[in-house]
Amino acid sequence: MNNKPKIGVYVCHCGVNIAKTVDVDAVSEFASRLPNVKVVRNYAYMCSDPGQFLIREDIEKEGLNRVVVASCSPRMHENTFRKTLNAVGLNPYYLEMANIREQCSWVHEDRDEATAKAKKLIYAAAAKVRLLEPLYEKEVDVEPASLVIGAGIAGIQAALDIANAGFKVYLVEKTPSVGGRMSQLDKTFPTLDCSACILTPKMVDVANHPNIELLAYSQVEEIAGYVGNFDVKVRKKARFVDVDKCTGCGICAQECRLTGRIPSEFDMGMGKRAAVYMPFPQAVPAKYTIDPERCLFLTRGKCGKSPKCADACTAGAINFEQQDEIVEFKVGTVIVATGFDPFDPARKPEYGYSDYANVLTGLELERLVSASGPTGGAIVLGEGENAFVPKDIAFIKCVGSRDKSVGNEYCSRVCCMYTAKLAHLVQEKVPGSNVRIYYMDVRAFGKGFEEFYDRVRRGGVRYIRGNPSEIFKRGDKLVVKVEDTLNAAPLEDEVDMVVLAVGLEPRNDAREIIDILRLSQSADRFYLEAHPKLAPVDTATDGVFLAGCAQGPKDIPDTVAQAKGAASSALVLLSSGKVKIQAQISFVNENTCRGCAYCVEICPYGAIELVAISRMGNTVQVARVNEALCKGCGACAAACFSGSIQQKSFMDRQILPQIAVLGVMR
């Protein structure tokens, strides 16, 4: 084929998104005068079927061999147009896009300026496209297994879906039991079905599924490799209990010298546990764990004459010699389902959470109303003689959400409904109680939410619009100071208990996964999806998917839906068994490479090595790129002294013309 460039330039109006600020006719006229340009067209929607048809037709009839599409960001539609080229047999890498929407028409108001800039961008693209070379994508095999990080409802659902499709799943959970936050809930809104009743069967399923290897009380240490071929290293933390021997009978916990003295994480500190513990009775795996930070024997080396748990255990499962274990395996895909942390209301000192025992968070009240909670479901505050049943109860919404002062601008999406649910449960459990909810807005957006909100209001819960400024103590009572903004009336409301509807935050250890997987964060600090609408479970790293609150606050139905989405995305890779690898990778001109190995040192993936070749009868060392490992960052190309190593589609001789055009054109 005669490879003299014949360029087609396609200018998109994007409806009026581009055409409103960029004079597409003037731009087209300009483009038609550029070197090597044979065809120029502008069209309302280049990405639509008729738009793509124009390109295909011109390639076939006019013999175009290079295409410039001036439209939206290449991050949006580069793949779309690559496929268009490919459909008519033109190499998909003979495409260059000029971003005249996101970086031109949308950010400039002046029509002349925007038009002039569009011309420049198109000229630069045309200058580069002439010099592009055809590239061919290679395929590699996908390891038929998946890693799921986090075993809350998101991780559990994703693991079950993948395992049911017949693929191996490694489910890694940091805490001793699967179940996550959902296991702490009593009832779920808006249907009020019991959380444990719908969750525990799934927990048991993951433990018993032949395709799932459950690694509880474990942490991912390292993930290397690339899509289809991740090498994973997991640290199985020492439980100091032999799980093969432990029957979960619980005698150890009864005998432990610290029984009833350590705040239980599961009960949000409302209940107490021993140093050897199972987080909750339905825990999976139903095995005990010794808390290495609390156990007397492990911290001080001494626990009376001998550790009572070990003496009591008839199975001989207690083993203080146990060591952490490193488990290594290979997977093709990774799903991150690490969940959230509840907002710490101590950061809003005006609400007195740290000062007054009767100020609770929503999750604490959740444990209190739960039949499996520390009070067996009775709403009782205080202990012993001071115990009492609160009658006047105030809820405060949006604590730590929609609040710039704590750095959380976002809505946590669940607090409106969990507040309504808790208010309803409290009313049910404390006859004659008087429940009010202080709110900014009520967002009842989900299926059945508005109906539930209505039901709760009709049940006698009072909604008062106002954002309390302060909570203080007066006698035995807590006073909520607030302005009822609908009546423009300042109030000092005396209550027995205040419940703070705390929002959801990224986990405080979110950074660990970022460092391991190179994920990005969005402005709200949750993990960033590849595209907010069209790739909501994908990440910028191929083969890594997101599920649940790790990506942003969401309720249980949305979490399960996203987990199923992530599982299906992972399954696309796993079931096809092949994945195309990056084509825009580096390559070495072995004729000019002098073997200095500077690129070898700089490559973050270890993708370059020195090999001996024969050059004009002499054996010399040159760099060589491992195409499966190279990710196409181009750091080597910028480092090479002789320009011998280059990145395909981003070669020096392809970028320099862009620079020249942008520099010279005024």
Using rule CB under 8 A, residue 595 touches other proteins: no
Shortest Cβ 83–other proteins spacing (Å): 19
Using rule CB under 8 A, residue 265 touches other proteins: no
Using rule CB under 8 A, residue 514 touches other proteins: yes
Q: Which stretch binds other proteins (CB under 8 A): 72-80, 163-171, 353-361, 409-417?
A: 72-80
End-to-end Cα separation, the chain, in angstroms: 37
Phi, psi of 621 (to 5 degrees): -95, 130
Q: Which helix (H) or strand (E) holds 579?
A: strand 578-581
Q: Which of residues 300-319 bind other proteins (CB under 8 A)?
A: none
Using rule CB under 8 A, residue 616 touches other proteins: no
Measured between alpha carbons, how far is 450 from 12 in angstroms, rounded to an integer?
43
Question: Nearer to other proteins by C-beta: 14 or 499?
Answer: 14
Shortest Cβ 522–other proteins spacing (Å): 5
Q: Which stretch binds other proteins (CB under 8 A): 146-154, 168-176, 295-303, 598-606?
A: 598-606
In total, the chain counts a number of residues equal to 666
Q: Which stretch binds other proteins (CB under 8 A): 62-70, 168-176, 443-451, 633-641?
A: 633-641
Q: Which helix (H) or strand (E) holds 194?
A: strand 193-194
Q: Which two tokens stand for residue 265?
A: 């994480």
Measured between alpha carbons, how far is 151 from 339 in angstroms, rounded to an integer?
9
Residues 6+ positions from 446 with CB-CB distance below 8 Å: 190, 417, 555, 557, 558
Q: Which two tokens stand for residue 406?
A: 């704590």
Using rule CB under 8 A, residue 635 touches other proteins: yes
Measured between alpha carbons, how far is 310 from 72 in angstroms, rounded to an integer?
67
Measured between alpha carbons, how far is 28 from 18 in angstroms, rounded to an integer?
13
Q: Which two tokens stand for residue 130?
A: 């002439």
Using rule CB under 8 A, residue 206 touches other proteins: no
Q: Which stretch binds other proteins (CB under 8 A): 117-125, 147-155, 188-196, 249-257?
A: 117-125
Measured at the CA of 192, the angle between CA 186 and CA 194, to 5 degrees, comes to: 45
CA dist list (Å): 200 to 60, 179, 185, 312, 539: 60, 8, 12, 29, 30
Question: Nearer to other proteins by C-beta: 616 or 664?
Answer: 664
Residue selected from 254, 322, 434, 584 as contacting other proteins according to rule CB under 8 A: 584
Residue selected from 541, 551, 569, 644 as contacting other proteins according to rule CB under 8 A: 541
Question: Nearer to other proteins by C-beta: 392 or 524?
Answer: 524
Using rule CB under 8 A, residue 103 touches other proteins: yes
Classified as helix, coil or strand, 159 is helix
Count of CB atoms situated within 10 Å of the CB of 257: 15
Residue selected from 11, 54, 68, 124 as contacting other proteins according to rule CB under 8 A: 124
Using rule CB under 8 A, residue 223 touches other proteins: no
Measured between alpha carbons, how far is 529 from 545 in angstroms, rounded to an integer?
8
DSSP letter string, 28-70: HHHHHTSTTEEEEEEES-TTSHHHHHHHHHHHHHH---EEEEE
Q: Which of residues 162-191 bind other proteins (CB under 8 A)?
A: none
Q: Which stretch binds other proteins (CB under 8 A): 164-172, 173-181, 478-486, 637-645?
A: 637-645
Shortest Cβ 539–other proteins spacing (Å): 10
Measured between alpha carbons, how far is 75 from 48 in angstroms, rounded to an integer?
17
Question: Nearer to other proteins by C-beta: 196 or 517?
Answer: 517
Measured between alpha carbons, how far is 178 from 173 in angstroms, rounded to an integer?
7
Question: Nearer to other proteins by C-beta: 85 or 607?
Answer: 607
Using rule CB under 8 A, residue 662 touches other proteins: yes
Q: Which stretch binds other proteins (CB under 8 A): 152-160, 364-372, 459-467, 647-655?
A: 647-655
Nearest-CA neighbor of 287 among 344, 244, 319, 329? 244
Using rule CB under 8 A, residue 580 touches other proteins: no
Using rule CB under 8 A, residue 631 touches other proteins: yes
Measured between alpha carbons, how far is 419 from 312 in angstroms, rounded to an integer?
44
Taking the CA atoms of the chain, what radius of gyration do you get in angstroms? 31
Using rule CB under 8 A, residue 587 touches other proteins: no
Using rule CB under 8 A, residue 80 touches other proteins: no
Phi, psi of 345 (to 5 degrees): -70, -5
Using rule CB under 8 A, residue 625 touches other proteins: no
Using rule CB under 8 A, residue 597 touches other proteins: no
Using rule CB under 8 A, residue 638 touches other proteins: yes
Using rule CB under 8 A, residue 559 touches other proteins: no
Measured at the CA of 116, the angle between CA 112 and CA 122, to 5 degrees, comes to: 145
Using rule CB under 8 A, residue 108 touches other proteins: yes
Question: Nearer to other proteins by C-beta: 549 or 633?
Answer: 633
Measured between alpha carbons, how far is 207 from 514 in angstroms, rounded to an integer?
28
Classified as helix, coil or strand, 325 is strand
- C-beta separation of 149 from 337 below 8 A: yes
Using rule CB under 8 A, residue 16 touches other proteins: no
Using rule CB under 8 A, residue 320 touches other proteins: no
Measured at the CA of 430, the angle between CA 354 and CA 457, to 5 degrees, comes to: 90
Shortest Cβ 301–other proteins spacing (Å): 39
Shortest Cβ 337–other proteins spacing (Å): 21
Using rule CB under 8 A, residue 522 touches other proteins: yes
Question: Nearer to other proteins by C-beta: 178 or 655?
Answer: 655
Measured between alpha carbons, how far is 619 from 610 in angstroms, rounded to an integer?
12
Measured between alpha carbons, how far is 308 from 286 in angstroms, rounded to an integer?
21
Using rule CB under 8 A, residue 113 touches other proteins: yes
Binding mask 459-498 for other proteins (x = CB under 8 A): ----------------------------------------
Residue selected from 74, 271, 342, 552 as contacting other proteins according to rule CB under 8 A: 74
Total residues contacting other proteins by CB under 8 A comes to 59
List of residues contacting other proteins (CB under 8 A): 73-76, 99, 101-104, 106-110, 113-114, 116-117, 120-121, 124, 127, 514, 518, 520-523, 528, 540-541, 584, 602, 604-605, 631-635, 637-639, 647, 650, 652-653, 655-666
